[in-house]
Amino acid sequence: MSNTIVDSTRRHAKDTGSTEVQVASITTRINELQDHFRAHKKDHASRRGLLLLVGKRNRLLKYMASSNREGYLSLIKRLGLRK
């Protein structure tokens, strides 16, 4: 699932740094960490990393909402964020 989401958000074949790709890859990592925490409830060190990732994704989405509104709306719909 991770490669499909990242591949669908790329602007060109070697795109790894655009805001859309960064948000998609961070969302994939967040989803994987959520699965990890279902099995390891007391892993608080990794939970801190999860919170840092969520904050980074929110900052990128905020930037994207102000600079590219149409791309932002299509990305959150594609990733299933902010219902």
- Per-residue confidence band for 1, with pLDDT thresholds at 50, 70 and 90: very low
27 by Cβ neighbours in 10 Å (0-12 / 13-18 / 19+) ranks as buried
- pTM higher than the cut 0.85: yes
d(CA 19, CA 9): 9
4-17 pLDDT, tens digit per residue, is 777 888 888 888 88
The number of domains in the chain is 1
Range of the domain at 16: 2-79
**pLDDT tens readout for residues 16-67:** 889 999 999 999 999 999 999 999 999 999 999 999 999 999 999 999 999 9
- We report the CATH number of the domain holding residue 25 as 1.10.287.10
